[in-house]
Structure 1
Amino acid sequence: MKYPAVLSFADILPQLHEFDAIIDARSEGEFALDHLPGAINCPVLHDEERVRVGTLYKQVNAFEAKKVGAALVAYNIARHLETLFADKPRDWKPLVYCWRGGNRSGSLAHVLAKVGWPAIQLDGGYKAYRAHVSSALDNPPELQFRVICGTTGSGKSRLLETLDAIGAQVLDLERLAAHRGSVLGHLPNEAQPTQKMFESRIWDKLRHFDLDKPVFVESESKKVGNLRVPDAVMERMRASPCVALTLSRPNRVRLLMEDYNHFAQDPQALNGQLDHLVQLHGRAKIDAWHALANSGAMPELVDQLLVEHYDPAYLRSIDRNFVQYGQAQVLELGDIGQDDFVGAARALHAA
């Protein structure tokens, strides 16, 4: 094969795991929005440089823009060769892509091939990859979902984490979305990914699952924080067999106190989130919950939130949205210790 070889995403997908590096030649801003799983960012034009070249193209002419752009690209590629790629052996095999598989990835792939590396360039670039992901999520594989259902605080997320740890197949949408899925679900110090990045993460998980084994997933709503679960994936989940996880309310309060300890340390942040519930519960109720948060009465507040907000909302929606919930396997947790979750996970995994 002559290098750099230019291959379609369909040709590349079966060997995606074989590349020693997947190099995204786009700017850091483009990379942050979404990228191929496992890719590293090696911009041949940085954000501000793209703006500069684009401005020249519009205000002067294409020749001047290309002349300035070529110098910047040459400089950036040289810097990558001197730093990121300096220790790579002769048989190092990189995949290179940019936005449409044009000048940026072509320039980098050409230089890498001239050095002697078997560089591959993705024809169509990120746009081709994104088109594949969108199509794949519109027609997801026929997976055997088993949906973990349960009221807020019953330990669904911990059970999924434990199932993952013992080797079960798990689609943890909340982890992929960096959000716990409720009005209080924002994770401290961790922003949610973009919608496209969320979809890339879901696609990458789905494509690695064994179709002959169950995939455990939580009974999410259509949105996890600000992100939307792809419609076809949600439809498959909602039509799948369910597991009804149960835990006593005092233990649910204990579990939520552990998982949401950051709110106990910052009641003002909690109150800000509770304000989103004014339309549902009225100003007087929210002010009462503010008072509990400000006074440090967190267990009482959590208990009231369960009884007056979360449990009624769950009961209104679960039968309507998950059609097999009425025949769900009941799985009762006696406590919230690690042994309790390991026992429950092993029982499910062995079933």
Structure 2
Amino acid sequence: MKKGFATVAQLNAFDEIIDARSPAEFAEDRIPGAISCPVLDNEQRAIVGTIYKQQSAFEARRIGAAMVAENIAHHLKTRFQDKPKSWRPLVYCWRGGQRSGSFVTWLRLIGWDACQLEGGYKNWRRMVVTELETLPKRFDLRVICGATGSGKTRILEALNALGAQVLDLEDLAAHKGSVLGALPDRPQPTQKSFETELFRTLHGFDPARPVYVEAESRKIGRIQLPDAMVEHMRASPCVAIDATRGARLEFLVRDYAYLGADVDELQQKIGFLKGLQSNETLERWKDLAARRELYTLFAEFIDLHYDPLYHRSQNRNFAGFSDAPTLPSDDLSPAGIRDLAERILTTHR
């Protein structure tokens, strides 16, 4: 390896990881733990790109260099002026080219042992995609199944509190998975960012211990699960939560109570079911939403949408479902959820 360069395998050898790309690139995805110190902001990057295409590479570099020098000077004066001589940062850009190279040159001239990530973010992204083709299969997954409203995500949270290893895919995807599943206070991440977090989370698990995960379809909202993740989940042992309809209804009304605050959004989500339900049913549901009658609305969701969908898909998709131990419950309160988690750990270690 050339002096001043490092590979993705050496990330942990540095005191700080600096992302020199634009804020928009950083927002889409980044190496975990990296800080954003762009050498060109979003507007500047667009300007330089336009000059490159419409005028010449020389003119783009001439104008871009002045912008880069000014931005690096700003970072040196604000972010790094108190760093000791022993500080060792790693800098990356998209391909490990001029943006990170310029930054590293100045850092090394000052006297810091700065390095440039070989291949940049592109190499990191390639590694994540390649690893996710095999990484999920290294773990002993235990899949929590159950109809919508069975409290599966809350059960995962309780299992985590009891010390079990838990992979909460819906939390990583910031979505509950159903047509009503968008969260009120968290937008979904980008696909790349989700995959980076999945990669990071899986690497934090002990392969010698089971990992509990909720049964999911291939998509959670607009996030696509990696094929290897889906295939391994569907081939893994299951545990089935058999909660009563009444317990599920009470749970759904509590868990989705925030939907009553924005009638227009709730009606819009109901509209996404067009083609799956009759127009008459959808209009009735929109009317229930307008009157904030969530109890009646969710009761109809269970009977006409959630349960028929569950019974069509679960037996077919998960090979271990037919042999899964079944845990009945008529209580999905926090205490009832904890009891289910304890029973899972007792019967399904």
TM-score range, shorter chain: over 0.9
Query: Does 2:39 match 1:44?
Result: yes
Q: Contact 2:142 / 2:212 at 8 angstroms: preserved in 1?
A: yes
**Is the aligned partner of 1:213 residue 2:212?**
no
1:108 is matched with 103
Name the residue aligned to 2:65: 70
Match of 1:299 in 2: 295
Q: Distance in 1 between matches of 2:263 and 2:200?
A: 37
- Distance in 2 (CA, whole Å) between partners of 1:75 and 1:333 is 63
Residues 139, 210 of structure 2: 8 Å contact kept: yes
Match of 2:115 among 109, 114, 120: 120
> Which region of structure 1 is more displaced relative to structure 2, 114-123 or 173-182?
114-123
1:142 maps to: 138
Aligned partner of 1:173 in structure 2 is 169
2:21 equivalent to 1:26: yes
Q: Which residue of 2 aligns with 1:255?
A: 251
1:325 Cα deviation after fit: 0.3
Q: 1:95 is paired with a residue of what secondary structure?
A: strand
Q: Matched residue of 1:290: which SS?
A: helix
Tell me the CA shift for residue 248 of structure 1.
Answer: 1.9
1:274 aligns with 2:273: no
User: Gaps (5+ residues) in structure 1?
Assistant: none
Instruction: Please say if residues 99 and 127 of structure 1, whose CA atoms lie closer than 8 Å, have aligned partners that are also in contact.
Output: yes
Letter in 2 for 1:313: L
With 252-261 and 278-287 compared, the bigger mean Cα shift is at: 252-261
Note if contact 2:246-2:330 (Cα within 8 Å) is conserved in structure 1.
Answer: no
* Equivalent residues of 1:144, 1:211 under 8 A apart: yes
d(CA) in 1 for partners of 2:61, 2:256: 53
Which amino acid in structure 1 is aligned with residue 133 of structure 2?
D
Q: Give the aligned residue type for 1:306.
A: I
Q: 1:89 to 1:255 in 2, by over 3 A?
A: farther
1:169 shift after superposition: 1.4
Q: Which residue of 2 aligns with 1:330?
A: 326
Q: 1:326 aligns to what SS in structure 2? A: coil
Cα displacement (A) at 1:2:
8.6
Distance in 2 (CA, whole Å) between partners of 1:250 and 1:79 is 60
Whole-angstrom CA distance in 1 between matches of 2:61 and 2:132: 38
Q: 1:58 aligns to what?
A: 53
Task: Kindly state the Cα deviation for residue 304 of structure 1 after the two structures are TM-superposed.
Answer: 0.9
Contact 1:275-1:286 within 8 A present in 2 as well: yes
Contact 1:271 1:290 in 2 (8 A): yes
Contact 1:96–1:109 (Cα < 8 Å) also in 2: yes
Match of 2:193 in 1: 197
After superposing on structure 2, the runs of 4+ consecutive aligned residues of structure 1 that deviate more than 6 Å are none
Identity, % of aligned positions: 49
**Cα-to-partner distance string for 1:261-289 (whole Å, 9 max, x where unaligned):** 12111222111111111211110011111
CA distance in 2, matches of 1:84, 1:232: 40
* Residue 128 to residue 67, structure 1, CA distance change in 2 (3 Å): same
Alignment match of 2:87 (pick from 63, 86, 92): 92
Match of 2:87, SS?
A: coil
CA contact (8 A) 2:251 2:333 kept: no
- Cα deviation, 1:198-248, whole Å, max 9, x if unaligned, reads 111111111221111111111000000011100111000100000111222
**Contact preservation (8 Å) 1:244, 1:329:** yes
* TM-score, reference length from structure 2: 0.94
Aligned partners of 2:145 and 2:241 also within 8 Å: yes
Moved more, 102-111 or 56-65: 56-65
Q: What is the CA–CA distance in structure 1 between the aligned matches of 2:17 and 2:343, rounded to whole Å?
A: 39
Following superposition, the deviation at residue 337 of structure 1 comes to 2.9
**Residue identity opposite 1:187 in structure 2:** L
Report whether the alignment pairs 1:289 with 2:288: no
User: 2-side partners of 1:17 and 1:164: how far apart?
Assistant: 27
TM-superposed CA distance for 1:112, in Å, is 2.0
1: CA distance between counterparts of 2:6 and 2:51?
A: 32
Q: Is the 8 A contact 1:246 1:331 kept in 2?
A: yes
Following the alignment from structure 2 to structure 1, what is the Cα–Cα distance between the partners of residues 92 and 112?
A: 16
Question: Structure 1: how far apart are the matches of 2:163 and 2:109?
Answer: 43
Deviation at 1:157, TM superposition (A): 0.6
Q: Work out whether residues 333 and 341 of structure 1, in 8 Å CA contact, stay in contact via their aligned partners in 2.
A: no
Q: 1-side partners of 2:78 and 2:247: how far apart?
A: 53
RMSD: 1.7
Cα distance between partner residues in 2 of 1:195 and 1:162: 27
For the 8 Å contact 2:144–2:239, the answer to whether it is kept is: yes
Alpha-carbon spacing, 1:87–1:334, altered in 2? closer, same or farther (3 Å): farther
Residue 304 of structure 2 aligns with which residue? 308
Which of the residues 116, 125, 128 maps onto 1:130?
125
Aligned counterparts of 2:108 and 2:337: Cα–Cα separation in 1: 52
Instruction: Measure, in 2, the Cα distance between the counterparts of 1:57 and 1:278.
Output: 47
Question: Distance in 1 between the 2:280 and 2:230 partners?
Answer: 36
SS at match of 1:243: strand
The Cα of 1:295 is off from its aligned counterpart by 1.9
